[in-house]
Amino acid sequence: MQLLGSTTSPFARRLRLYLFEKEYEFVDLDIFSTEGRHILTKNNPAQKIPALIDDDFCIYDSRVIYRYLAEKYDEAKLTWLQENQLTLIDAANDTFINLLLLSRSQLDSSEDRLFYNLQHERIEQVLTALEKKAAEGEFKQWNYPAICLYCLLDWIDFRELYVLDKFMHLTSFRFTTSTYKGIKETAPY
């Protein structure tokens, strides 16, 4: 089993953490290099990482890959509450990636434009909702949604996309879990 990803991808890191003590090969791709892009496109025409190759079959999208792995390793299905947690975490992650790509495209997302405003508004709404969930103890257990939350928070700090200080519970969640198994070994820095 091979996981196509990159050491900096927060979507790949969640699966690297989930698979930390399991048998698999991590393929670290530079998806913006000619060779990396060729391997990526050959395996996933959607041109995104992560992708999982198992028995010559390639599965795309971290959420679907997790479902595939959960079935393979006889994990309990995610509850609807956990599915909603993931939807919020994914929404924040996708939005932060949009902001990063805008900045790499030399576009100033602080300008008053509909697309930029929607990104900033979504980030505030989602982080506020996740803060409330963390305060209510929804991420007390170190399960897949908690892993995904950690990867999001650690990545936005690594990319210097947001200062989380005003979100006390998210900040404390990140601090507490930062010593957990595999965190150091999968860090993007």
Ligand X SMILES: N[C@@H](CCC(=O)N[C@@H](CS)C(=O)NCC(=O)O)C(=O)O
Residues that bind ligand X (CB under 6 A): 9-11, 31, 47-50, 61-63, 97
**Distance between CA 47 and CA 30 in Å, rounded?**
12
State which residue, 31 or 183, has the beta carbon closest to ligand X: 31
Token pair listed for 1: 């089993």
Residue 74 falls in which region: left (phi positive, over 0), alpha (psi -120 to 50) or beta:
left
Backbone angles phi, psi at 4, to 5 degrees: -85, 125
State which residue, 9 or 186, has the beta carbon closest to ligand X: 9
Min separation Cβ 66 and ligand X, Å: 9
Min separation Cβ 168 and ligand X, Å: 27
**Distance between CA 177 and CA 4 in Å, rounded?**
25
Min separation Cβ 12 and ligand X, Å: 7
State which residue, 182 or 188, has the beta carbon closest to ligand X: 188
